[in-house]
Structure 1
Amino acid sequence: MTATTTDVLTFEILDSAEILSLPNIRTLVAGYTGRDEAAVQHHIDELAAIGVSPPPQVPMFYPVELATVTTARQTTVTGAHTSGEVEPVILRHNGRYFLGVGSDHTDRELETVDIGDSKPACPKPVGRKVVEIADWDSFDWDACAARSWVDGVLYQEGTLGNLRTPGNLLRTFAERLGDSGEDLLCFAGTLPLLNGKFTPGHIWDIELTLPDGRTLTHTYTTEGH
């Protein structure tokens, strides 16, 4: 699904003055992206126990509109049962690739009814800073570390070593949905919750630390209505 809105996402390359402006970008949330198939199935079984239907395929790619993705520090959500989770974000612009950090903020009540409907129901915050990745095959994806906090409490922590690599994810995406090389933004998966429970909150801090020590961060707040 390619967004047809006139909205434009703008990013800044870390340690550079270069600005990326991405209008009409293809925007996706990838789910069930764990590398260990047994662990993914265990997660699917856990979700089924709380009423979430199993996915028809693994991994899954859920289209969201460009207007859903935001670099704003304040977002509006509907209902009291929404929560975020830190994710690496793969960007492609004019054939160049970049890595960012975002939060797959989701309506957890709607998720038990239809995951596809729950993905665009909340804004998808992303950090404004990104880093360019010249070659995914030589980039040490597994050594990247991600963390999130909700209202100051550590919520997730770990490396990306259990997630599908960008190369694998992009190849699967192309095989399933087709890929003409257009600009792309893809949330690439998340880490287990430290307490095992989705936790609503007001202030969300997310970070992704690269193997060379550089860190991408974003903080956003949610307001209900």
Structure 2
Amino acid sequence: MTELVFELPDGARVPVAVKYLLNGGYAGRSQEDVAAHVAELAELGVPAPSTTPCLYPVAPYLAQQTTTVPVQHGKTSGEAEWALVVTDDDVLLTVACDHTDRELEVHGVAWSKQAAPDVLGTRAWRLSSVEDRSDELTLTAWADDEVIQRGTLAELLPPSYWIEELRARGLLVPGTVLLSGTIPMLPGVNQFARSWRVELASPEDSLSLAYSTSPLPEPVG
């Protein structure tokens, strides 16, 4: 079982054995904007979901705190997200990046989520310490040092929505990790890059992660 360790602002270190890993999708707070995004993706060959928002179960071992993501080709990219981490006695909020195989995505979004890890930060906040102002928190992503995403958590369904979804599905248990879904890409950016960095920030503090992609050897056969 994959074990992650998160450092809290008070210096405490919290180990979490990942039992369930879940990816939110099409999780914008404005479902009108989500519908427009679904239509845009359909033009690129990405199949439309049967309902929104979506929740994709992912293999728990794909939750990683890593600085290197192996990839099979150049058409993969990350997505700036926040993540909920359920511990034995609390819920944490951290920064995350859902690395996705875009070539596989046209065959099935759920399949594409299994092709690369969900990268999580090594620092976290207690959700209770920031929840009342979570809409003010900002998410920023850089690909090869170019800003490609920038927004606030107000653009996404709030942590409270996903807490209730997890509770209703019997998944609000220690070891559950849920990624939020992502904010829009800025117009005209190149999302295919060798290095990725994501920051989740409040006026007082910030959580960040960074990793590079590493091409796998060419297959034989």
Query: Do they superpose with TM above 0.5?
Result: yes
Unmatched tracts of structure 1, length 5 or more: 1-5
SS of 1:142's equivalent in the other structure is: helix
The answer for the alignment partner of 1:214 in structure 2 is 205
The answer for the alignment partner of 2:128 in structure 1 is 134
Partners of 2:178 and 2:172 in 1: how far apart? 15
The answer for the alignment partner of 2:150 in structure 1 is 157
- Is the deviation greater in 94-103 or in 16-25? 16-25
Task: Work out the number of aligned pairs and report it.
Answer: 216
Identity rate of aligned residues, in percent?
29
1:107 deviates by: 0.2
Paired residue type of 1:140: R
Partners of 1:121 and 1:69 in 2: how far apart? 12
Partners of 1:187 and 1:204 in 2: how far apart? 17
Aligned partner (choices 5, 8, 15) of residue 3 of structure 2? 8
SS of 2:212's equivalent in the other structure is: strand
The answer for the alignment partner of 1:169 in structure 2 is 162
Kindly report which structure 2 residues correspond to 1:1-225, keeping only aligned pairs within 5 A, or say none. 6-13=1-8, 15-134=9-128, 138-175=131-168, 177-179=169-171, 181-195=173-187, 199-210=191-202, 212-225=203-216
Partners of 1:164 and 1:33 in 2: how far apart? 6
Task: Mark the CA change 1:101 to 1:58 in structure 2 (over 3 Å): closer, same or farther.
Answer: same
Unmatched tracts of structure 2, length 5 or more: 217-221
> Cα RMSD between the aligned structures?
1.7
SS of 1:121's equivalent in the other structure is: coil
Residues 7-27 of structure 1, C-alpha deviations (whole Å, 9 max, x = no match): 2112111x2221111114211
- Give TM-score, length-normalised by structure 2: 0.91
